[in-house]
Every structure is written in structure tokens, then in C-alpha cells.
Amino acid sequence: MKILGIVGSSRKNGNTEILTSECLKAASSSGAETYLIRLSELNISPCDGCQYCRINGECKIKDDMQIIYQSLINADGIIVSTPVYFWTVSALTKIFMDRTYALRYPTRKLKGKVGGAIAVASHRGCSFTLSTINNFFLHHKMIVAGLGVSGYASEIGDIKKDERALRDSRELGVEIVELLKNRRG
């Protein structure tokens, strides 16, 4: 089974990525192949709302999102992680989410995959942000693993002091694998 981590932070090796890596390590220890994509390293244009995907079954914008589409389709489990910006997902994460609209046509290509959410804030906003990610999963008819992980840190690396967030990230990785194993019987 393959689990993909999508990091929506501009900070390489920052707090969001640290929690995502903990989640992926736990999933790997439970038997999954894991992969990580940093949205900040890719060139992804925003959705222009042209509806080309509804008619043709693919996005007309040819950029690095094409790589992500294939990775999402190949994954059994998907972790979306983001820092909290103005009480919601980062712009990188929102652009990614919007562009997955193309995966709805002609059939829902993410249907039945397991999704896990991670949000990192300095003080507040994780609940709303996790809700946004979980609604994204539900929109794609995915199975949502728990409510998600909330982490709190202001400076790069401070998340390592948030023992609860580290533990919850590991538990999320294990839970995603267990859900996938249970689905396969």
C-alpha cells in the first residue's frame, strides 16, 4: 500500500513537514510505502475555472500538478498537511486542493482512498483548518482517518516540543494503514 504526504508549507523541513514525516515514518513502520511531495518545490498555477476538466476528463493547465495527479491516483492513502494562515490552509494548499477538481471527471479518481489531515498553527486556527482539509477529502468521496492532527509552534523546529502533536501524527500514520488493511480484508 502507498501513502502520499502532501506538504503545503513554504518552509522546507519546517514544523508542518516534521509532523508529516512523523506520520509517514509510522505508516512505513506499519508496512506502507511512503512518499512526500513539497508543494513549495513545484510550479502549480491556480485553477482558472474554465471547466475543461468536466468535458475532457483532465486539466488543460500543463504544469507540475500533472505529477501530483499521477501520485494521487497511485496512492492508497493521502496526508494533506498545512500551516494555518488566517484561520485556514496556506495558499499553496488551497491551490493544490482547487486543482484536484479535475480528478472528479469523468469518475471520482480519489474515491475510497483514505485521507489524513495535519495543521500547524502558532496559537489558533487548527480546528477550522482541519475541517477544510477533511471537507476536501469528503468532497472527493474519500475515507477520513480521524479528525486530524493539531500542532502548535511559532519558530521552526518548535513542533518537536509538542509531544501530543508528535504522538498524534504517529497515530494518524498507523490509523491510515489500519484502515487500508481493513478495507482489503
pLDDT per position as a tens digit, 75-114 = 999 999 999 999 999 999 999 999 999 999 889 999 999 9
> Domain holding 60: CATH number?
3.40.50.360
pLDDT (mean) for 36-41: 99
Buried (b) or exposed (e) across 9-39, using 16+ Cβ within 10 A? beeeebbbbbbbbbbbebbeebebebebbbb
**% of the chain residues with pLDDT over 90:** 96
Domain count, the chain: 1
Domain holding 146, by residue range, is: 2-184
3-state DSSP assignment of residue 85 = strand
Q: What is the pTM of this model?
A: 0.97
The mean pLDDT value of the chain amounts to 97
Q: Please say whether the beta carbons of 6 and 96 come within 8 A.
A: yes
Q: Which of 34-38, 77-81, 181-185 has the lowest mean pLDDT?
A: 181-185
Q: Which sign does the torsion angle of CA 66, 52, 90, 93 carry?
A: negative
Burial class (CB in 10 A: 0-12, 13-18, 19+), 98: middle
What stretch of H or E contains 92?
helix 91-99
3-state DSSP assignment of residue 120 = strand
CB atoms within 10 A of CB 146: 15
pLDDT for residue 13 is more than 90: yes
Strands (E), the chain: 2-7, 33-38, 77-83, 114-121, 143-144, 149-152
Distance CA 170, CA 98 (A): 28
